[in-house]
Amino acid sequence: MMTTMDGFITDSEGKLGGWTNWDEEMKEFYNDEVFAASDTIMYGRRIYEEMVPAWTAIADRHPHHGETLTEGDVAFGKRVRDMKKIVVSTTQEHAGRNAILIRDNIAERIIELKRQPGSDILLYCGPRLVSTLTELGLIDEYMLYVNPIVLGRGTSLFENLKGALQLKLLRTKIFGSGVVLKFYQPIYTK
């Protein structure tokens, strides 16, 4: 998840992006390391609806708003387009191409999916689903891209947590853009 120095994932208007540093070095790392260790992406509904069509268009070399595409963009888009998907939503009726829809019994369904053969499951979602999965003890690792910017207000990734969450820092990676990627393992106490 992309965050600011002060822990926000969106600006004060709820918009993702704009302030993020997502350069070729980061795309290459993500494509070569993160995607290589994963075969499935789990989404919350809103991010699924925004991200999958946009990256599928980029994979097919049809960017929105006439952006200039890099090979890193296209490679990322192809992985997003082609990976197995899980959509967690209580309101969505159908999942799209290559996707499983989870509408209820979230814990049981995710535990079942995690037991199946395969690689890591990536999670792209907002604070509500992060909080739900955290409180259920279903997140094994957090990857936070901390961007060198302070917004002062916005949406916090962890704003819906009901209690404290202890984390163990596993490793970091510093990118030339100033973004610091931090890998954390949650310490669940139950």
pLDDT (tens place) for every residue of the chain, 190 residues total: 999 999 999 889 888 777 888 888 998 999 899 998 999 999 999 899 988 998 899 999 987 777 788 888 898 899 999 999 999 999 998 888 789 999 999 999 999 999 999 999 999 998 999 999 999 999 999 999 999 999 999 999 999 899 899 999 999 999 999 999 999 999 987 6
CATH of the domain at 26: 3.40.430.10
Q: What does the pLDDT read at residue 190?
A: 62
For residues 62, 37, 48 and 110, what is the CA-based torsion angle, rounded to 10 degrees? 160
Which residue segment(s) compose the domain that 101 sits in? 2-187
Closest by alpha carbon to 184, among 157, 162, 161, 166? 166
Residue 80: strand, helix, or coil: helix
Q: Number of folded domains in the chain?
A: 1
Q: Is 8 exposed, middle or buried (0-12, 13-18, 19+ CB in 10 A)?
A: buried
Closest by alpha carbon to 142, among 187, 189, 183? 183
Question: What b-and-e string marks burial along 26-54, b requiring 16 or more CB atoms within 10 Å of the CB?
Answer: bbeebbeeebeebebbbbbbbbbeeebee
Whole-angstrom Cα distance, residue 76 to residue 78? 5
pTM of the model: 0.88
Whole-angstrom Cα distance, residue 75 to residue 56? 11
Q: What does the pLDDT read at residue 176?
A: 96
Q: How many CB atoms lie within 10 A of CB 91?
A: 6
Whole-angstrom Cα distance, residue 186 to residue 165? 7
Distance of CA 20 to the CA centre of its chain: 14
